[in-house]
Amino acid sequence: MAKNLIIVESPAKARTISKFLKNQYVVKASMGHIRDLPTRTLGVDVENNFEPKYVEDSKKKKVISELKEAAKDADKIFLASDHDREGEAIAWHLSKTLEKDIKDKELYRIVFNEITQKAIDESLKNPGKIDMAKVDAQQARRVLDRIVGYSISPLLWKVIAKDLSAGRVQSVALRLICEREAEITAFVPKEYWRIESEFWRDNLPKFKASLEKYQGKKKEIENEADASVVLEAIAGKEALLFDIKRSNRAVQPQAPFITSTLQQEASKLLSFQAQRTMSIAQQLYEGVDLGGDSTGLITYMRTDSTRITPEANAACKSLIKERFGEEYVYSSMRLFKNKQSAQDAHEAIRPTDPYRTPESLEPYLNKEQLRLYTLIWQRFVATQMTAAKLLVTQANIQLGEAEFSATGNQISFDGFMKCYPHVKIPLGESIHKDYAKGDTLEYQKPEKSQHFTSPPSRFTEASLIKELEAKGIGRPSTYASIISTIRNRKYVTIEKRSFLPTALGMDVNSFLVDKFDSLFNVKFTAQMEDKLDEVEYGKQVWHNLIRGYYDDMNILIGKVDVKKEKVALTEETDIICDKCNEAKMVVRRGRSGEFLACSNYPKCKNSKNFKRDLNGSIVIIVPEVLDEKCPECGKDLVEKNGRFGTFIACTGYPSCKYARPKTLGLKCPECKIGEVAQRKNQKGNTFYSCTRYPDCKWISNFKPVEQSCPNCGNHYMHERYSKDKGHTIECPKCKHVLA
């Protein structure tokens, strides 16, 4: 008897679902999208309602063949990709690819928010059809992004450098970072002064208070002279505690995680990049082996809804009562409001079973999985716990014509913080309960201190995601890819966990804002996201939406004078070309970054590498002359940096084109004949390979070290680096790590 077929995206998800279905269904994985727009052409018919011209992924021929064979043998086919726009599009592409093989068979779409027995059984009992409105919303986004990339990116290649890209959303994220940097650069610190003193009575603990008012008005002290005037006026005066107020305040738990808040908290607390967070969350969602059983541990991780099912909340409250006690259980069911634009198709991110505590899962999860699961579990459980309670004390002291103030917070009941300890409450001053209104206080001589206002903070990954969400730019599934794109394109760097735009990023942003401001601004991009939502809700025809965008973009492109823009972005120097001795050198950009080139190009093709000092001035990098001579012409050899890493070249170039990669002085671990060379790939990442390639295909991402492994005797070990372990020497065969 033929079995029904279920198609999901990943093998991990397939394994987990198969376990619940007890081999009653055939479960196959499509490995994500099996069709997409072509890579080398636009793939969109702009004259025919922007009809996409999809092609099958050439790398998935085997997968497609297996899916077709399975579909032929099945009675019914269930498409079970993720329950979002991308997942709906994957299901639709599968239906189109398998159309001939399933034309006489029943095709269904099933969705579930968590991979559990109950959720899968419910979805199979209530199968539906592909939601074409959701598919159209995904197509609209894909076609929009393709049109922008294929229309505006070539302008960047001509004006700035090759291999750059403009993205409809990524360029707005870059703009936010660049504009913040401009604010920081333009910021002028403002001086201000504080006056503080310690006060006490009898043997009670001292507390510090700051000047709040002077002569009955709120006092802002702008300079030292003003501070000295106040200090002279209050010198020797009696200190009176003229008012002290004590009140109780409740601190409520935060909503359960949605995609953006999970990425923000994982960045702040775990130092995970957004892309890493989503990758680990995907593993937890699709299923982890718990002693032979693959089990989905969290609900779907791409969501902007804070909704939780009553059943899950009830289980959570039972756990709280057992684990923490009755006093920690919230009296009713705490619910959280969604923002207006939230799509309520999913729940918030939560454990599929709160009784799977982090400590119970520790034997089965790797370190990163456990840390992220713990954070999700803690946040969810805290939502149904009682509020934390604070005793707030406000003390006001009269000292002559000056009024000093101090505030202190004391946690009287920890409430939800017993489970979710990551909420930081500023405690301020510890003001003893025996202080009372009317007390005469002793005090130390007040002191003045100079301070300056601070510039705005640079965006961290967490604060950038928060800003994108607040301004309506992007959606839950896009934040991680937006950030990874601007980093991979080297438009930004990370310094002290903050985004800093590179010179390249500033130039790209400057060009796009100058020529395409109406398309690459926050308001327009947020409105476009809302219109894409309207497509999903069936309120907007997707190709009509794109037509307006496309026409506006073409008008702006037609106004760009490439030659003029290229000259405007060219940085001139006072350095005279040492080959033609006529023209000045200018700064240009290539795939490997900035370099100096003769402005008399192509007549003179002289170029040089350079670096900038702390003041931004250009310093020419003089290649180091080696002790050996060129074997072909006898001239000196020098070490140079190129697109694919460091190499040795002849000083007689271009008449002598001798060059070879720089080696580490180690024989290849595999063939023992060639040498190990350090190289770079097109993304600028370092790797190591044999100089005898392609005869020897040895390659490694880690630097080899000529040191025998004390565990297995392997002659070569690898130098590795990780945030957890730092630099280590590890054996690639047995994974032994040297202490």
Q: What is the DSSP string of 365-377?
A: S-HHHHHHHHHHH
283, 12 contact by CB (below 8 A)? yes
Choice among 300, 373, 549, 716 that is catalytic: 300
Distance between start and end Cα atoms, the chain: 58
Two structure tokens written together for 473: 């730019």
Question: Could you tell me the two tokens for 454?
Answer: 């601070």
The tens digit of pLDDT for each residue in 311-342 reads: 999 999 999 999 999 999 999 999 988 775 55
CATH superfamily, with its number, for domain 259-382: Topoisomerase I, domain 4 (1.10.290.10)
Q: What percentage of residues in the chain have a pLDDT greater than 70?
A: 97
The string over 603-619, giving b where at least 16 C-beta atoms fall within 10 Å of a residue's C-beta and e elsewhere, is ebeeebbbeeeeeeebe
Contact predicate 98/71, CB 8 Å: yes
pLDDT of residue 294: 84
pLDDT recorded at residue 591: 64
* Residue 532 pLDDT grade (very low, low, confident, very high; cuts 50, 70, 90): very high
Could you tell me the pLDDT band of residue 725, with boundaries at 50, 70 and 90? low
pLDDT at 240: 97
CATH pick for 4-130 out of 3.40.190.10, 3.40.47.10, 3.40.50.140, 1.10.287.130: 3.40.50.140
User: How far apart are the C-alpha atoms of 53 and 657, rounded to whole Å?
Assistant: 44
Mean pLDDT, rounded, for 194-219: 95
Task: Provide DSSP, 178-242.
Answer: HHHHHHHHH----EEEEEEEEEE-TTSPPEEEEEEEETTEE--B-SHHHHHHHHHHHTTPPEEEE
Joined tokens for residue 683? 């993304």
Residue 623's pLDDT band, with cuts at 50, 70 and 90, is confident
Whether the CB-CB separation of 238 and 441 falls below 8 Å is answered with: no
Minimum mean pLDDT range among 307-311, 337-341, 492-496, 585-589:
337-341
- Domain(s) labelled CATH 3.30.65 in the chain stretch across 570-620
Of 19-23, 67-71, 616-620, the range with the highest mean pLDDT is 67-71
Domain 191-252+388-452 listed as CATH 2.70.20.10: yes
Q: Is the pLDDT of residue 142 over 90?
A: yes
- Per-residue pLDDT, averaged over 280-294, amounts to 90
CA 310 to chain centre: 32
Nearest to 159 by CA among 519, 508, 604: 508
pLDDT score recorded for residue 243: 96
Residue type, 210: S
Residues of the chain with CATH 1.10.290.10: 259-382
pLDDT (0 to 100) of residue 363: 94
From residue 36, how far is each of 57, 452, 581 by CA, in Å? 7, 54, 53
Question: What's the length of the chain?
Answer: 739
Q: How confident is the model at residue 718 (pLDDT cuts 50, 70, 90)?
A: confident
- The dihedral built from the CA positions of residue 37, 504, 572 and 585, taken in this order, carries a sign that is negative
CA distance 219 to 215: 9
For residues 198-221, give the mean pLDDT: 94
How far is 454 from 442, CA to CA, in rounded Å?
A: 34
729 confidence band (pLDDT: 50, 70, 90): confident
Mean pLDDT over 347-363 rounds to: 95
For domain 139-186+457-563, is the CATH number 1.10.10.10?
no
Q: Which of 521, 487, 483 is nearest to 504 (CA)?
A: 487
Q: What is the pLDDT of residue 639?
A: 83
Task: Tell me if residue 300 is catalytic.
Answer: yes
Nearest CA to 302 out of 505, 429, 113, 102 is that of 113
Least confident segment among 129-138, 175-184, 604-613, 710-719: 710-719
Lowest mean pLDDT among 255-264, 425-434, 685-694: 685-694
| CATH 1.10.460.10, the chain: domain bounds | 139-186+457-563
Percent of the chain with pLDDT over 90: 65
Which residues share a beta bridge with 391? 248, 410
The boundaries of every CATH 2.70.20.10 domain in the chain are 191-252+388-452
CATH of range 570-620; options 1.20.1070, 3.30.230, 3.30.65, 3.90.380: 3.30.65
| CA separation, residue 412 to residues 96, 204, 406 (Å) | 62, 20, 19
Average pLDDT, the chain: 90
